[in-house]
Amino acid sequence: MNKNSFLLIVMIAFLVSSEKTIAQDLNFNDAWLFYNDVAEGAEKPDFNDAKWRKLSLPHDWGIEGPFSNNNNARTGGLPSKGTGWYRKHFKMDKNAEGKLVHIEFEGAMYDAYVWVNGNFVGNRPYGYIGFEFEISKHLKFDGSENVVAVRLTPKDLSSRWYPGAGLYRSVWLKVNNPVHVEQWGAYITTPTVSKKLGVIQNETTIVNSTNLDAKVKVTQEYFSPDGKLAAKIDDEITVKANSKEVSGTWVNVKNPEIWDTENPNIYKAVTTVSKNGKVIDTYNSTFGFRSISFTTEGFFLNGKKVRFNGVCLHHDNGALGAAVYRRADERKLQIMKSMGVNAVRTSHNPPSREFLELCDELGLMVLDEAFDVWKEQKVENGYNVFFEEWAERDIKDMVKRDRNHPSVIMWSTGNEIHEQHNKKNGWKVAKMLHEYCKEIDPTRPTTLGMNNFEAPYKMNFAAQSDIAGINYKPTKYGYIHETYPQLALYGSETSSCTSSRGVYHLPIEKYQKHESNHVTSYDLVGPPWAYPPDVEFHFQEQNPNIMGEFIWTGFDYLGEPTPYGGRDNSTNGYWNADWPSRSSYFGAVDLCGFPKDRFYLYQSHWTTKPMIHLLPHWNWKGMEGEEIPVYCYTNVDEAELFVNGKSMGKRVKGKDFTELKVDFLRYEPKIFNSKYRLSWNVPYEPGTIKVVGYKDGKVVNEKTINTAGKPYQVKLSVDRKEIDADGTDLAYVTIRVEDKNGNLCPNADNLVKFSVKGEGNLIAVDNGDQTSLTSFQAPQRKAFSGMCLAILKSSKTSGKIELTAKSKSLKTDKIIVKTN
């Protein structure tokens, strides 16, 4: 018997012998065995897996690499295809016999087949949706070993971006009494919300899997954000044999603490099910008091008009791949909030449970999206393969799982769906999915992201959702609003500007591709449909009825390396023409989480706390005397630039314009005069450039960039000096190559080698370079634009982790992270 099996037995024995804590979810992430290939007979309990790799979840085998031109660059050039097997050996205590045991997978990529002790228990194709199977009848409770086996077969051309591969989200073993709360069974809404009064409505589904009717008492307790009991109510119901029944209650709460983007107050609901005076189940939920309203004049949160400063985010976390670590998503969302973001679109799939919990806690509104494709394919092995059989189940499960989250404000049934062109049947499919969502949750509107103009409006497609999402049509906002005045509108994908952090190409021009396989950070270049952020800012202001925007994208992501490699529906789905480009350039933040310059352009437009940003770097050896365009992104009144102490003049925000070269679809002028960025053309001379920001005539902030000397040292900083010793918590360490005065060396590409001691390990490295083919698992990384990243993961033992970074001829640095 191994340690994990022993612990599992102990926990299950406690659960089934306790009167008050009968049902509980047991984390099932440890002690798995993995094999990355075809394994005939691996579903059988006596299969010899002695040589299989031991690991803990979450696990994404694709991110382990290696990168290869034989893999599709549009999905990252990583081996996220093939067959992967997972097996887990465990024992059940005899006291668990007679209970209902489920195994729950929060996500498995993809086409999961599951066996328990050689018995097939179920299949779920869609890799982004959670599911569970009841396995009680297949388990042994006599102290002998049980085996669960999972086979995954992700295919090439199943996605338009990196999907990951494996058991990349958590797995749970759930022990319940025959009468219990159904999976995702509590549905909590707040039909009345005011500062004086809030109403909680709770519809909880109770399952009775016995052959006898069951009379039960359902007690609902509600706790305020500070943990105090806010309300309590009981309900008695009879659940007929082998059926379900809904316990419906409502209760008033005086002076509720409202959930909004500034004060994300979270309430807890505890549902207790009792029979004959004994507790037989408890079920915990979280929710928030908030009201939402969408009109043709805008979006209102708790009666206040709010615009979406939104971002689209893919599900991967860079060097960690698709594996879901709570801290990785927390850091990602915190970075977005610091940019001024208040809303997130989960493009183009249901997110993880942790992601939505974090959005609740951080006060981020969520557009929860179901599919990238319906029946008509984009890539040959996409969701279209499963749509007919699984779409209803998948979208209903998404809504059922996520409907208690106060952060979720819209259900998106699809993205740039090809059916938007189908005059005969497209609208019917859109209507069907809309109705599926409304059946499970009538309190939120449905939406669609549409990139075609004007077909979906003329063909009755757009009208099948409550809200029309418009992709990349800022110049048409006014026309659509006037022509279809009944539709509430927002920009569901905007801008699609591309860039590489710290890279600046001169002269400034909009090119299709650059020989370096990088894209200038002057925030100008994008594919044919794309445009600089300034253009969207302008047309949003011209059309105040538009509810805001979701930029493409907040973060870079793995795969889809536009403008390199290919385009949708071309090159037979493969994007390898510009290898080694293998990941996105779209993000305002790179794959490491390091802000690009564009991050600060959005921050200057979306935030009010005085800020100022200056670009480019000031290392232009060999270009002395040549003019360098200098940009300033700020939200203050005016800015003044100094070069080696000499003023280059003031620029006034909103009065002095910067000329941008543009060339995108449905826009005739090739020049856009932007009031959102300030600029100077400055003859280069080494030294210092400094920009000073003024508000009401007074200096409020400044930014200085020095010409850096030769690389002298590596310098480490960490996002958190203390993390949890839980085996999953992460610390992100930023590595900078600096000169002897502490200036970042912006062109440095020194190789940095890492070593780790203590209670943790180096789980991943990166540098944000979209063309690097170095493994994310390697203990070394070259700097890119002077920086790279190391990610540490804790063990389950308290202590400390010591990371040392060395680079040839440079001064070494180290950092210590405590684990508690």
Instruction: Please identify every residue annotated as catalytic.
Output: 416, 493
532: its two tokens: 């600089």
- Burial letters 699-712, b for 16+ CB under 10 A, else e: ebbebebbbbeebb
Answer for the pair 486, 296: CB distance below 8 angstroms, yes or no: yes
Residue with tokens 């801008």: 495
Bridge partners, residue 651, by sequence: 639
Distance CA(131)–CA(52), nearest Å, equals 26
Residue 522 host element (H or E): none
Annotate 87-112 with three-state secondary structure.
EEEEECCHHHCCCEEEEEECCCECCE
Looking at residue 806, its amino acid is K
Alpha carbon 647 to its chain's center: 44
Half-sphere exposure of 672 (CA within 13 A, CB side): 25
Answer for the pair 154, 80: CB distance below 8 angstroms, yes or no: yes
Between helices 387-402 and 426-440, what is the axis angle to 10°? 30
Helices and strands (H, E) in the chain, number of each type: 9, 46
Residue 339 host element (H or E): helix 326-339
Q: What percent of the chain is helix, strand and coil (3-state, nearest 5)?
A: 15, 40, 45
Instruction: Compute the radius of gyration of the chain from its Cα atoms.
Output: 28
| Bond preceding residue 522 cis, omega within 30 of 0 | no
334: its two tokens: 């915190």
**E strands of 159-228, at which residues?**
171-176, 179-193, 197-208, 214-223
Distance CA(658)–CA(382), nearest Å, equals 43
Bridge partners, residue 188, by sequence: 202
Distance CA(594)–CA(597), nearest Å, equals 10
Answer for the pair 733, 754: CB distance below 8 angstroms, yes or no: no
**645 — phi, psi (to 5°)?**
85, -10
187: its two tokens: 């549905």
Distance CA(724)–CA(795), nearest Å, equals 9
Distance CA(439)–CA(289), nearest Å, equals 22
The secondary structure of 451-468 as a DSSP string is --SSHHHHTT-GGGSSEE
Half-sphere exposure of 275 (CA within 13 A, CB side): 17
Residue with tokens 């893999």: 71
**Which residue, among 219, 203, 191, has the nearest Cα to 280 in the 3D structure?**
219
**Which residue, among 562, 556, 586, has the nearest Cα to 575 in the 3D structure?**
562
Calculate the CA dihedral of residues 737, 739, 742, 748 and round it to 10 degrees.
Answer: -30
Looking at residue 79, its amino acid is P
Sign of the CA dihedral 417, 420, 426, 431?
positive
Annotate 532-558 with three-state secondary structure.
CHHHHHHHHHHCCCCCEEEEECCECCE
Residue 326 host element (H or E): helix 326-339
Answer for the pair 145, 8: CB distance below 8 angstroms, yes or no: no
Distance CA(125)–CA(111), nearest Å, equals 4
Q: Name the maximum alpha-carbon separation found in the chain.
A: 90
